[in-house]
Amino acid sequence: MTNAVLHVADVHKSFGGLHALSDIDLQVMEGTTHAIIGPNGAGKSTLLNVCIGRIPPDSGAVVFDGKVITGKRPHEINQMGIVRVFQTPEIFPDLTLLQNVMVPAFAKRDGAFTLNAFRGADRETEIRDEAEHWLADVGLAGYKDTLAASLSRGDKRRLELAMGLIQHPRLLLLDEPTAGMSRHDTNSTIDLLKKIKERGMTKVIIEHDMHVVFSLADRVTVLAQGRIIADGTPEEVRGSAVVQEAYLGGTHR
Amino acid sequence: MTALRNDLIYLVVFAVAVLAMPIWLAPFGAAYPDLMQKFAIYGIFAIGFNILFGMTGYLSFGHAAFLGVGSYAAVWSFKLLSMNVIPAIALAVLVSGLFAAAIGYISLRRSGIYFSILTLAFAQMSYNLAYSVFTPITNGETGLQLALNDPRVIDRALFADAPGIPRPNLFGIELGGYEAFYLCAVILILCFFVAMRIDRSPFGMMLKAIKSNQTRMAYTGFNTRPYTLSAFIISGIYAGIAGGLLAVTDPLAGAERMQWTASGEVVLMTILGGVGTLVGPVIGAVVIKYFENIFSAFHMAKLEDIFSFLPDGLESFVVSIVSPFVGEGWHLTLGIMFMLIVVFLPGGLMEGARRIRARFGGGRGTGSKAHSSNPAPAE
Amino acid sequence: MDQLILQLLNGLDKGAAYALIALGLTLVFGTLGIVNFAHGALFMIGAFCAVVFSRLLQLETVTIDPARLTPWGSPMEVRTPLVQAWLGDFGAVLVQWSVPLSILFAIPVMLIVGVAMERGLIRYFYKRAHADQILVTFGLAIVLQEIVKANFGANPIPVTAPAALAGSVDVGGWLGLSGVFYPWWRLVYLGFALAVMGLVIAFLRFTTYGMVVRAGMEDRQTVGFLGIDIEKRFTVVFGIAAVVAGIAGAMYTPIVSPNYHIGMDFLVLSFVVVVVGGMGSVSGAVFAGFLLGILQSFASMNEVKNILPGIDQVIIYLVAVVVLLVMPRGLMGRKGVMEN
């Protein structure tokens, strides 16, 4: 087995009296696609927020690539190579699609701050070409000069995916990447994610849609009430009695 | 590279328009040096303000403080060093830049209205202190002036003393009305060029992205604070240059330049011309300064003269309608104009021009680019 | 000790005016989500209501009194205020008490002005950016100022308090100290301000109408979902804020003679007060108003100025900066207000 890119080590988090996460110990292996599933309120989003430094854990630590990332600021975590794609699309509505994708490319190339005020952005042909390439990959090539605000919700999610992918992250965290998409769009997103998998990017996906999970995941972790109740290959998890009970007898809709 | 060529054309047209002010402003009665100097100086101030407000969306209500500090720095340079404008402007840049760095460092910890209030608070403190504790530096209410016995160490070391208080000069060229105007005009063009470079650069793109969605910028890997702070300092320096030039055209610096109404004025200029556009703020500055000087000089006799072509009864009627809006009352015109712009034309005069161009089938202007998200209220 | 009491009273007085303006500002901000730079102009209009009202009461009639002769031997002209001519002594009392009575005049005027402002302009800005709101109300403030300036001139217009309340009172005597004299009218203003604040807070706390408004301050959307016509309440709230600012201005006239820019002068400070108190918090605005007023008075004492020169000029802004940096939401602000 290859080495772990992300290690969530013994993390606890409670809000008031509510244990949102307890005893979470999780390893995400290099090059794999790791799905985290579970009923509503199981703590999936909290876990993701802990991973990107939005919420500090009460105890335990998140180790990425051998370095502790708990307590680091969001931009530092991004610069280390972790990119998150949000559940509700977070884009730059007042910029064009092309600019939306160029901005993260600059972050990747120039770091958290550079005063590059005297070189025309037009001359950055390398970055522009790459941005156009990723826009084409998510199927938005024809709209590169339109403002992002005018996109439909589904298109915004695809744009955000391109914004994440252009940074070639070591670890891509996807929060329900296909929520609210049509079946057709879901399938094209799955195809796109499979394509990146071939390039060896590690991904963590939080997802409700079992079709997506079982099409993509190499490994599945099941959360319920803030605890890990199962962890294994998709086949193992599918057959697990505990998981079936959590889903059928538990709080799931 | 067509974008680059377009920018070059844009710059050349701008430069020609600025340098030719004495010609094309003549029919408007505005082609006298004092007023044209103000157009150029406040144009610089507004361009700089737009780098902060237009690009990052941070609305500063204290920018006049940097203008005032620039003026004081320039006058001190005249007094202590030399009547040459180069050290004066250099000192204005340095001092206003440092001042902006300090105020920006603290104020930018907050955003939105809190940022506006913090900048306002700092500017008001500067204003109040300039009148009281800092009187040795600012000379209080009288204002800082040149004196016959100022040290002027560089000048005295190099040249013999001429009688009387000397005027600011540029390596011996005494800066009278037109010379001073052309100096301001050249600096305006330079400032415009720099702003254009910033606007077209990756840095400018980041500033606009911060305006659009600052939280997202952090998760994209940017430390946004240095970006906003750089924009703040750059725009503070622009204000400092403008303040320095005010001192060049009239070597006197007073605290009233720092009052919050003066900060409000530059906001008006930027909004009126068009936030986020390059040339808009300059147009706004010209329009407001024009109104201030020309409109406010109108009085009854002049009005009667203008409308004398009308029949008698109608003439006095029109004059009585118009007179509250000119002369003493020109602020009323300004306020109304301002409200109309914010209500009906949030993109300012530049958006108005774009709309007109779009209506008459003039090429690329679509009007969809600016402010499509917040349309004017439908009445 | 005497000095301290005097400065405390001064501070309370100044604070009362700040708090009354800030109260309306924060109320309008909390419910309507509007940053109103024209709020100072409402204070100014209120002050000029007092001016107009006292001028109305002093409209005179000229009668010839044959019983009295001028030094040149002709019958003397006597000028009497009309109300006095009609109502006799009671009329004379009315003329005397024009400032407090002008509240009765200011309330309907301010209500009309406020409602007209909200219906005619403000409501179109509910969904616009705060910057746009600041700009349009700033423009409106200039227009209102200029209209007043065109009609009343640029100079301050003196207004006198009723003779009975014109002098000073020995406040020290009440406390067993000697010789702390304080103007009667300023004490009246303090009491008046406290009463108005009490009324507004009671209205918000104890009436159903007020409770809905408060709920709207907490969570505007939900109140909208409940099917309550929130727009109508917005208008009412704006009207109340206008009335509070207006009567605060009317009553202030004997303390500082009103001029057209008195509103702007107060507005900047009141904004600082609102932010220090916490945007959208009514009790925060009241508390911060008094706090800053008192701090400002104490800072202007010579003993303090000798140690910290210039402190009186900057104290309010300095406090604002520190509060905003240490407590981003102000002293009593709630989470989620004005954050992006």
- Domain boundaries along the sequence of chain B: 25-258
Whole-angstrom distance, CA of residue B169 vs CA of residue B86: 9
Residue B266: predicted pLDDT = 92
Q: Chains contacting B with at least 3 CB pairs below 8 Å?
A: A, C
C268 touches chain B (CB under 8 A): yes
pLDDT tens readout for residues A90-99: 899 999 999 9
In a domain, A113, yes or no: no
Residue A18: predicted pLDDT = 79
Question: Any alpha helices (H) in B57-84, and if so which ranges?
Answer: 64-80
* Nearest in space to B151 (alpha carbons), one of B244, B66, B241, B79: B79
Residue A66: predicted pLDDT = 86
* Nearest in space to B96 (alpha carbons), one of B233, B192, B256, B231: B233
| pLDDT > 90? residue B100 | yes
pLDDT tens readout for residues B222-269: 999 999 999 999 999 999 999 999 999 988 888 888 887 788 889 989
- Whether residues A122 and B4 touch (CB distance < 8 A) is answered with yes
Q: Is the dihedral of CA B109, B112, B113, B117 positive or negative?
A: positive
Whole-angstrom distance, CA of residue A78 vs CA of residue A75: 5
Place of tokens 């800030």: C22
**How far off is chain B from C121, nearest CA to CA, in Å?**
9
Per-residue pLDDT averaged across C323-331, rounded? 82
Residue B149: predicted pLDDT = 82
Q: C328, exposed or middle or buried, with CB in 10 Å at 0-12, 13-18, 19+?
A: middle
Taking contacts as CB-CB distances below 8 angstroms, the residues of chain B near C268 are 120, 124, 260
In a domain, A141, yes or no: no
Q: Which of A61-65, B23-27, B140-144 has the lowest mean pLDDT?
A: B140-144
- Residue percentage of chain C with pLDDT more than 90: 29
C327 touches chain B (CB under 8 A): no
Nearest CA in chain A to B214: A92
Of B200, B206, B211, the CB nearest to A120: B200
Q: B282, exposed or middle or buried, with CB in 10 Å at 0-12, 13-18, 19+?
A: buried
Helix (H) or strand (E) holding A28: strand A18-29
Whole-angstrom distance, CA of residue C177 vs CA of residue A227: 71
Q: Which of A151-160, B187-196, C34-43 has the lowest mean pLDDT?
A: A151-160
The two tokens of residue C228 are 């309550």
Angle at alpha carbon of residue C152, lines to C151 and C153, rounded to 5°: 105
Residue A250: predicted pLDDT = 47
**CATH no. for residue A243?**
3.40.50.300
- Whether residues C324 and B114 touch (CB distance < 8 A) is answered with yes
**How far off is chain A from B364, nearest CA to CA, in Å?**
13
pLDDT tens readout for residues B111-139: 888 898 889 889 988 988 888 888 888 88
Query: Residue A88: left if φ>0, alpha if ψ -120 to 50, beta else—which one?
Result: beta
Taking contacts as CB-CB distances below 8 angstroms, the residues of chain A near B202 are 102, 106, 110, 114, 116, 119, 121, 124
Return the number of CB contacts < 8 Å for B and C: 121
Q: Which residues contact B109 (CB under 8 A, 6 or more apart)?
A: C325
Residue B377: predicted pLDDT = 37
pLDDT tens readout for residues C141-186: 989 998 998 889 888 998 888 887 877 887 777 777 777 788 888 8
Q: In what order do the strands lie in the sheet with A18-29?
A: A18-29, A4-15, A59-64, A67-68
Identify the domain containing residue A238 by its residue range.
Answer: 1-73+199-253
| pLDDT > 90? residue C99 | no
Residue B307: predicted pLDDT = 74
The pTM assigned to this predicted structure is 0.86
Per-residue pLDDT averaged across B352-366, rounded? 71
Per-residue pLDDT averaged across C218-231, rounded? 68
Task: List residues bridging with A18 in a β-sheet.
Answer: A15
Residue A152: predicted pLDDT = 84
Residue A208: predicted pLDDT = 78
pLDDT, mean over chain C: 84
Q: C336, exposed or middle or buried, with CB in 10 Å at 0-12, 13-18, 19+?
A: exposed
- A25: three-class secondary structure by DSSP: strand
pLDDT tens readout for residues B269-316: 998 899 889 999 999 999 989 888 877 777 766 777 777 777 777 777
Whole-angstrom distance, CA of residue B38 vs CA of residue B20: 15
Q: Is the ipTM of this complex over 0.85?
A: yes
Name the pLDDT band for B198 (thresholds 50, 70, 90).
very high
Per-residue pLDDT averaged across C291-314, rounded? 84
Residue C57: predicted pLDDT = 85
Place of tokens 């706090």: C291
Residue A1: predicted pLDDT = 47
| pLDDT > 60? residue A251 | no
Phi, psi of C41 (to 5 degrees): -65, -30
Report the largest interatomic distance among the alpha carbons of chain C, rounded to a whole angstrom: 80
CB C45 within 8 A of CB C110: yes
Helix (H) or strand (E) holding C79: strand C75-81
Taking contacts as CB-CB distances below 8 angstroms, the residues of chain B near A95 are 205, 208-209, 212
Nearest CA in chain A to B210: A92
Name the pLDDT band for C337 (thresholds 50, 70, 90).
very low
B212 touches chain A (CB under 8 A): yes
Nearest CA in chain B to C275: B114
Residue B376: predicted pLDDT = 36
Residue B300: predicted pLDDT = 66
Per-residue pLDDT averaged across C270-289, rounded? 89
The two tokens of residue A203 are 């991904």
Name the pLDDT band for A22 (thresholds 50, 70, 90).
confident
- Whether residues A117 and B4 touch (CB distance < 8 A) is answered with no
- Residue percentage of chain B with pLDDT more than 70: 93
Residue A249: predicted pLDDT = 55
| pLDDT > 90? residue B365 | no
pLDDT tens readout for residues A184-201: 888 888 888 887 777 778
- A69: three-class secondary structure by DSSP: coil
- Whether residues B216 and A119 touch (CB distance < 8 A) is answered with no
- Whether residues A119 and B202 touch (CB distance < 8 A) is answered with yes
C308 touches chain B (CB under 8 A): no
C307 touches chain B (CB under 8 A): no
CB B281 within 8 A of CB B50: yes
Of B201, B211, B216, the CB nearest to A117: B201
**How far off is chain B from A104, nearest CA to CA, in Å?**
6
- A82: three-class secondary structure by DSSP: strand
Residue B366: predicted pLDDT = 41
The residue among C327 and A248 whose pLDDT is bigger is C327
